[in-house]
């Protein structure tokens, strides 16, 4: 085996984190120059692989077909010579608890999957064929063009995509950065066709000319030995063709030509935002500076949020709420350094002054030598973070590594032994830092300003339709920034007092980790849980608190006041929290319903002291008027803009607002917010917020001994001493801590419809929910059956509704719960109207019953689905954060079911195919279910669907073929329609061949096709009683009841005599 590969770095040479127990081998296959990193992790239950091809959307330019590389990524999934079924790969992964994805970047395309470890070899065999013998099937071509088009339309109203494309469209037209990378129906079908091009033929040429093994990097992670993984890499990937292609290079042109610099770009956003962006073009010198990374020095300081920083200075003027800064590599040879500032209305009025102040800050940085102590803070933290880096999701690991593996090849600049830690800052080079900083100058500057206050903009961007103007930066502004002087209020930050020093790991590792935390304090006002890290053994921890204050839940008015209070607190704590965040102490404060949630996590050395400081500020917080208007504006923007988010991201909120108590629509909260004055917030804080006492739940988890956890618990009780003269009653705690959901009666079918706020969004979205039962211990078996059915539905649902029917780019299904009830949902975002989507979802459920729950559901097939769910339930926790989330969710939901997954697996063992089929019939059969309720939530586009008889006819025929398993290519149907138009008899003649005549009625087919052509949706849709008022709906339905612990909490009392129990 050794003769077929060359080792570039073995396990002993590769630098690894302290806790990394994996083995590594970096090799090159001698047969085709494919570079492969193999990772053996005997403890993993999830294996993964990723292959990165060093070609991306920049290559589109030479073919003059925007989106070609992205289209190639899509079509590569649609079958291979060895595995011709278009969903074979996804079906195999789905049956074995797996998933896959891919993305196309500017210079590379990345493919990856994750699967249960026992099935890695089979997945690798299917995966390898993408790069050996893809079919690029003609029958899939048109459907995947539609899929790309749908993906593009998903982003048309997204400001991030719009402004990114606007920047590209106003860049150097000779550089491929100027292109449109996603593609759409016009670029991939209409325009090539008008030039006499067959896009599939061009795609085959693209694949042949760019998909060469010497431009690929493969990473495989599994539980198997390095020798076994190496053998699989050789046997499965040696046939990937090597054309010895040169690596694409784009050095010839700058992304911004001289005439593109010194420009002011003004644009109108979809959302109500005011943003200012300063962008500098930087020569990329990573080859010589990978271990120095001088750009990180400027990212750190310009993005700093402490006193003396540019953000702190501008916030005091109430001109800016947020600032972000960083370096983005565009391609070899060129990077962009950008600063984005979120402006207040006053900041928008003073945007030119803000630009001058930014250059004052840059002047301060450039006029002094970089101090070693500041660089050392960055370097020390980069080393600490690498040393104690934890495992993450295996698919994330392989995807990241494969995308950067080219840097470590023999002819590149980073030693292969550094492939895991090339981001560590190793060398202080003040001259390189100053050299980098010198590029942040007016001659390298572009300014972008966006606001809905910008009107009469003369231009429209070609691909997204963004309104914009493009002009020279005003001469007076350019002169001001060239002559910017040092501002005495702008200076370097103070040394960081939160840098950890003690990394001692407490306690001993147990043979088997404890499956639950201990309850160490249980009083009428405090419920504090604790678990020492006995699984990962790292010097980290977390402290999570929910401070319940009943007045917050009294009304929509108090809910809005609480929302404002949370944002004002977060703003007040920002400087301290930013220092903590820089050294691995993450802090998060949020307000929701009746409570404030406080979470602090990271290196445990300074964590308790940090939390003490936070709590002192929190408990004694008094709102200040100086930042009130800016924070109120920020909250108003968030409430207003939520309705302009992509529909599939909004629909879950509307679902929960309909079913859950104490939830209010954002437009109604916005109306209340508009009337709120500073005095209202101040009065509420001083007179009502703490007036009915507090109830606090907490979890202390990680590298803490019991004595430390007990001190934290006691300090909490001491800190809140003045706020707990009254304890909430048990009834009040139950009603506010454990909010309930409304109960849909069995047999009820409800439809809730809303128009999208964004009048230009072409997509509608539907969530189809089947309520199965109440979330309680007695319904555990029903919940497991729902989970199992969701596992079985997942791939067929995506394959039918997304891949075959092309309803839209966004299709998914799965288990779904409100606070009190659970069930299963199917979600589709589409240009089609919601009544049609409801029709196709219900039709899919009928097809699923007919095709998947009949004779094809053998014991062997059923066992694979059960095994897939079992593997997901028993999946090992990857890091301390995942374990914290598991326990915290169990505490927060009121069930305290810490061992639910293990119990679910026991139930799963006894589930039979017959029971599953009966369960489907009882709850999910569209026509005959007798035990469930249904809720359909619709977000309707205001854009009218274009009526297209030809499209309707083709879609109806395709669906008929899928539904009746007719062995004919849909491409044959498309060809007939192209030749003869809406000739129902001609299409019927090719469908109703001799094999089908006995089973199907040709006359009935023609009648149905005529109906579906004129009206794609049957007359009985949409189904369900229409509900228009959420409050009336909630009032008319009973509540589901308060969650109850699955076990007495005394079961979890900490066995220590000093515990407060």
What letter does residue 318 receive in the DSSP assignment?
Answer: T
3-class state of residue 589 by DSSP: strand
Encoded tokens for 100: 């896959």
**How would you classify residue 981: left for phi > 0, otherwise alpha for psi between -120 and 50, otherwise beta?**
left
Give residue for tokens 């899939």.
140
The pLDDT-based confidence of 1060 (bands split at 50, 70, 90) is low
Please classify residue 591 by burial: count the beta carbons closer than 10 Å to its beta carbon, then call 0-12 exposed, 13-18 middle and 19+ buried. Answer: buried
Tell me what pLDDT residue 994 has. 46
Name the DSSP class of 325. E
Residues 553-585, buried b or exposed e (16+ Cβ, 10 A)?
bbeebbbbbbbbbbbbbbbbbbbbbbbbebbbb
d(CA 543, CA 517): 13
* Nearest of 330, 374, 925, 315 to residue 633 by alpha carbon: 315
- What Å distances lie between residue 460 and 157, 165, 174, 231, 446, CA to CA? 14, 12, 21, 55, 19
Q: Which residues contact 116 (CB under 8 A, 6 or more apart)?
A: 45, 46, 47, 96, 97, 98, 867, 868, 871
Average per-residue pLDDT for the chain: 92
Tokens representing 936? Answer: 């359909």
411-420 mean pLDDT: 83
Say how many C-beta atoms besides its own lie within 10 A of residue 806's C-beta: 21
For residue 69, what are its two tokens? 């590389």
Residue from 936, 933, 934 nearest 754 by CA? 936
Helix (H) or strand (E) holding 9: strand 5-9
Residue 173 banded pLDDT, cuts 50, 70, 90: very high
**For every residue of 30-53, which 3-state class applies, written as one string?**
CCCCCEEEEEECCCCCEEEEEEEE
Catalytic residue among 62, 73, 661, 882: 73
List phi, psi (to 5°) of 266.
Answer: -110, 135
**CB of 904 within 8 A of CB of 787?**
yes
- 731-759 pLDDT, tens per residue? 666 665 557 889 999 999 999 999 999 99
User: Which of 983, 651, 941, 572 has its CA nearest to residue 816?
Assistant: 651
Query: Quick one: pLDDT at residue 352?
Result: 98
pLDDT of residue 947: 65
DSSP 727: P
Torsion angle, alpha carbons of 898, 815, 866, 42, to 10: -60
More reliable by pLDDT, 837 or 962:
837
Query: What is the spatial distance between Cα 947 and Cα 944, in angstroms, rounded to a whole number?
Result: 9
pLDDT at 1004: 84
Identical fold between 22-237 and 258-391+420-482? yes
73 annotated active-site: yes
Confidence of residue 1028 (pLDDT cuts 50, 70, 90): confident
The arithmetic mean of pLDDT across residues 366-378, rounded, is 96
My answer on whether omega of the bond before 271 falls inside 30° of 0, hence cis, is: no
Over the Cα atoms of the chain, what is R_g?
A: 30
Class of domain 22-237: alpha beta
- For the ranges 118-127, 246-255, 392-401, 814-823, the lowest mean pLDDT is seen at 246-255
Please give the Cα distance from 469 to 457 (Å, whole number): 5
- 192-201, 241-250, 287-296: least confidently modelled range: 287-296
The token pair at 785 is 């059956």
Helix (H) or strand (E) holding 26: strand 23-29
d(CA 58, CA 67): 10
Asked if residue 802 has pLDDT above 50, the reply is: yes
Domain segments of the chain: what residues?
22-237, 258-391+420-482, 518-724, 749-945+1021-1035
pLDDT at 563 over 50: yes
Confidence of residue 961 (pLDDT cuts 50, 70, 90): confident
- Give CA separation, 659 vs 385, 470, 607, 744, 841, in Å: 43, 48, 38, 9, 22
Please calculate the CA angle 738-744-745 and round it to the nearest 5 degrees: 130
Which neighbouring-strand residues pair with 765?
829, 939
Cα 49 from Cα 37, distance rounded (Å): 10
Say yes or no to pLDDT of 937 above 50. Answer: yes
pLDDT band per the 50, 70, 90 thresholds, residue 618: very high
Q: Say if pTM beats, i.e. exceeds, 0.85.
A: yes
pLDDT of residue 524: 87
In this model, does residue 496 exceed pLDDT 90? Answer: yes
pLDDT at 998 over 60: no
How far apart are the C-alpha atoms of 400 and 420, rounded to whole Å?
10
Report the 10 Å Cβ neighbour count for 372: 11
Average pLDDT over residues 873-886: 94
Sheet holding 5-9, edge to edge: 5-9, 23-29, 35-40, 216-222, 46-53, 109-116, 99-104
What is the maximal distance between C-alpha atoms in the chain? 90
d(CA 322, CA 314): 9
Please give the order of strands across the beta sheet that includes 585-592.
518-522, 526-532, 695-702, 540-548, 595-603, 585-592
Out of 663-677, 770-784, 1045-1059, which region has the weakest mean confidence (pLDDT)? 1045-1059
Residue 487 has pLDDT above 90, yes or no: yes
Q: Has residue 569 got a pLDDT over 80?
A: yes
**CA–CA separation, 250 and 247 (whole Å):** 10
Query: For 268, which DSSP code?
Result: -
pLDDT of residue 1061: 54
Asked if the model's pLDDT at residue 1 lies above 50, the reply is no
Measure the CA–CA gap between 654 and 937, rounded to whole angstroms: 8
What is the distance between the alpha carbons of residues 594 and 374, in angstroms, rounded to a whole number? 42
The pLDDT confidence band at residue 224, using thresholds 50, 70 and 90, is very high
Whole-angstrom distance, CA of residue 904 vs CA of residue 319 = 53
pLDDT score recorded for residue 411: 65
Span 518-724: which CATH code? 3.30.830.10
Beta bridge partners of 810: 829
Distance CA 592, CA 594 (A): 6
| Per-residue model confidence (pLDDT) at position 730 | 62
Residue 747 backbone class (left: φ over 0; alpha: ψ -120 to 50; beta: rest): left
Q: Confidence band (pLDDT; 50, 70, 90) for 287?
A: low
In DSSP terms, 343 is beta-bridged to 320
Beta carbons within 10 angstroms of residue 775's beta carbon: 21
Q: Which residues contact 261 (CB under 8 A, 6 or more apart)?
A: 281, 443, 444, 445, 446
CATH number of the structural domain 258-391+420-482:
3.30.830.10
pLDDT at position 2 over 60: no
* Distance between CA atoms of residues 290 and 299, nearest Å: 16
Q: Mean pLDDT over residues 162-182, rounded? A: 97
Question: Which residues, in sequence order, are bridge partners of residue 445?
Answer: 280
Domain at 749-945+1021-1035, CATH class:
alpha beta
Distance (Å, rounded) from C-alpha 767 to C-alpha 824? 10
Report which of 553, 1004, 488, 935 is spatially closest to residue 751, judged by C-alpha positions: 935
Residue 883's alpha-carbon distances to 871, 879, 903, 1046, in angstroms, are 17, 7, 17, 20
Q: How far apart are CA 188 and CA 964, in angstroms?
A: 31
- Is residue 458 pLDDT above 70, yes or no? yes
Q: What is the dihedral of CA 909, 913, 918, 923, to 10 degrees?
A: 70
pLDDT for the residue numbered 1058: 60
């Amino acid at each position: 085996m050794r003769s077929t590969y060359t080792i570039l770095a073995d396990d002993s040479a590769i630098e690894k984190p302290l806790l990394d127990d994996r083995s590594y081998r970096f090799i090159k296959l001698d047969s085709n120059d494919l570079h492969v990193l193999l990772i053996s992790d005997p403890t993993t239950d999830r294996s993964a692989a990723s292959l990165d091809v060093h070609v991306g959307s920049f290559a589109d330019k030479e073919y003059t077909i925007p989106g070609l590389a992205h289209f190639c990524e899509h079509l590569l999934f649609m079958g291979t010579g060895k595995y011709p079924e278009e969903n074979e790969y996804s079906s195999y992964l789905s049956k074995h608890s797996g998933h896959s994805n891919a993305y196309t970047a500017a210079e590379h395309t990345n493919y990856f999957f994750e699967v249960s470890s026992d099935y890695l070899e089979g997945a690798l065999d299917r995966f390898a064929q993408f790069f050996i013998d893809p079919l690029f099937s003609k029958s899939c071509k048109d459907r995947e063009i539609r899929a790309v088009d749908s993906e593009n339309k998903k982003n048309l109203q997204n400001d991030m995509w719009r402004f990114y494309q606007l920047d590209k469209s106003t860049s150097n037209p000779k550089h491929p950065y100027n292109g449109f990378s996603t593609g759409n129906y016009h670029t991939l079908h209409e325009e090539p066709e008008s030039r006499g091009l067959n896009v599939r033929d061009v795609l085959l040429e693209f694949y042949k000319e760019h998909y060469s093994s010497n431009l690929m990097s493969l990473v495989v992670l599994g539980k198997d030995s390095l020798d076994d993984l190496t053998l699989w890499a050789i046997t499965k990937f040696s046939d990937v063709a090597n054309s010895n292609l040169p690596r694409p290079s784009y050095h010839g042109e700058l992304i911004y030509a001289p005439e593109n610099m010194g420009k002011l770009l003004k644009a109108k956003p979809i959302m109500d935002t005011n943003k200012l962006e300063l962008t500098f073009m930087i020569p990329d010198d990573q080859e010589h500076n990978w271990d120095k990374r001088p750009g990180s020095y400027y990212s750190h300081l310009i993005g700093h949020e402490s006193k003396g920083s540019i953000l702190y200075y501008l916030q005091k003027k109430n001109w800016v709420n947020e600032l972000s800064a960083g370096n983005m590599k565009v391609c070899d040879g060129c990077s962009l350094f950008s600063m984005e500032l979120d402006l207040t209305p006053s900041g928008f009025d003073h945007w030119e002054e803000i630009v001058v102040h930014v250059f004052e800050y840059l002047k301060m940085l450039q006029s002094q030598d970089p101090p070693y102590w500041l660089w050392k803070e960055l370097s020390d933290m980069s080393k600490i973070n690498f040393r104690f880096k934890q495992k993450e999701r295996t698919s994330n690991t392989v995807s990241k590594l494969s995308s950067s593996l080219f840097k470590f090849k023999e002819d590149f600049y980073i030693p292969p032994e550094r492939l895991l830690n090339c981001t560590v800052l190793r060398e202080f080079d003040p001259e390189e830092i100053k050299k980098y900083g010198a590029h942040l100058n007016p001659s390298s500057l572009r300014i972008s300003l966006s606001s809905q206050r910008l009107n009469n903009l003369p231009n429209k961007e070609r691909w997204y339709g963004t309104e914009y103007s493009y002009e020279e930066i005003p001469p007076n502004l350019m002169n001001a920034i060239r002559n910017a002087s040092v501002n005495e209020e702008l200076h370097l930050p103070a040394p960081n007092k939160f840098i950890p020093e003690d990394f001692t790991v407490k306690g001993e590792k147990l043979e088997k980790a404890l499956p639950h935390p201990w309850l160490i304090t249980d009083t009428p006002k405090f419920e504090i849980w604790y678990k020492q890290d006995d699984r990962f053994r790292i010097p980290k921890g977390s402290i999570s608190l929910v401070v319940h204050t009943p007045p917050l839940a009294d009304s929509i008015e108090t809910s809005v006041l609480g929302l404002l209070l949370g944002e004002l607190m977060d703003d007040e704590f920002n400087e301290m929290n930013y220092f903590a965040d820089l050294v691995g102490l993450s802090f998060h404060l949020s307000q929701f319903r009746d409570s404030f949630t406080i979470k602090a996590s990271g290196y445990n050395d300074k964590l308790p002291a940090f939390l003490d400081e936070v709590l002192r500020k929190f408990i004694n917080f008094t709102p200040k008027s100086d930042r009130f208007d800016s924070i109120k504006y920020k909250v108003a923007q968030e409430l207003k803009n939520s309705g302009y988010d992509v529909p599939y991201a909004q629909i879950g909120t509307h679902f929960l607002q309909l079913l859950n108590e104490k939830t209010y629509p954002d437009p109604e909260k916005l109306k209340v917010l508009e009337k709120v004055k500073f005095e209202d917030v101040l009065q509420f804080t001083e007179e009502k917020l703490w007036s009915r006492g507090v109830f606090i739940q907490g979890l202390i988890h990680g590298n803490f001994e019991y004595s430390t956890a007990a001190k934290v618990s006691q300090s909490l009780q001491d800190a809140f001493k003045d706020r707990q003269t009254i304890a909430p009653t048990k009834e009040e705690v139950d009603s506010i801590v454990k909010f309930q959901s409304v109960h849909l009666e069995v047999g009820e079918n409800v439809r809730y419809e809303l128009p999208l706020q964004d009048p230009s969004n072409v997509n509608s979205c539907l969530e189809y929910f089947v309520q199965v039962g109440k979330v309680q211990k007695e319904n555990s078996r029903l919940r497991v059956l729902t989970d199992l059915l969701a596992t079985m539905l997942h791939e067929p649902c995506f394959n039918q509704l997304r891949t075959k029917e092309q309803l839209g780019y966004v299709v998914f299904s799965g288990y779904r719960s409100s606070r009190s009830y659970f069930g299963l949902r199917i979600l589709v975002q589409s240009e089609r109207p919601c009544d049609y989507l409801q029709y196709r979802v219900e039709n899919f459920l009928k097809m699923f019953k007919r095709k998947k729950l009949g004779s094809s559901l053998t014991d062997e097939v059923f066992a694979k689905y059960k095994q897939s769910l079992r593997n997901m339930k028993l999946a090992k926790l990857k890091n301390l954060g995942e374990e914290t989330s598991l326990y915290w969710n169990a505490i927060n939901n009121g069930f305290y079911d810490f061992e639910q997954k293990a119990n679910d697996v026991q139930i799963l063992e006894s589930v039979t195919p017959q029971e599953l089929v009966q369960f489907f019939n009882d709850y999910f059969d569209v026509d005959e279910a007798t035990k469930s309720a249904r809720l359909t939530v619709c977000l309707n586009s205001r854009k009218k669907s274009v009526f297209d008889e030809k499209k309707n006819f083709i879609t109806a025929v395709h669906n008929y073929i899928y539904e009746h398993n007719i062995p004919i290519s849909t491409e044959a149907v498309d060809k007939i329609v192209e030749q003869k138009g809406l000739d129902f008899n001609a299409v019927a003649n090719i469908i109703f061949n001799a094999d089908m005549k006995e089973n199907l009625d040709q006359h009935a087919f023609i009648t149905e096709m005529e109906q579906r052509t004129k009206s794609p949706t049957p007359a009985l849709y949409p189904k369900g009683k229409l509900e228009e008022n959420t409050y009336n709906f909630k009032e008319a339905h009973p509540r589901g009841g308060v969650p109850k612990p699955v076990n007495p909490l005394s079961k979890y009392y900490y066995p220590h005599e000093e515990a407060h129990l």
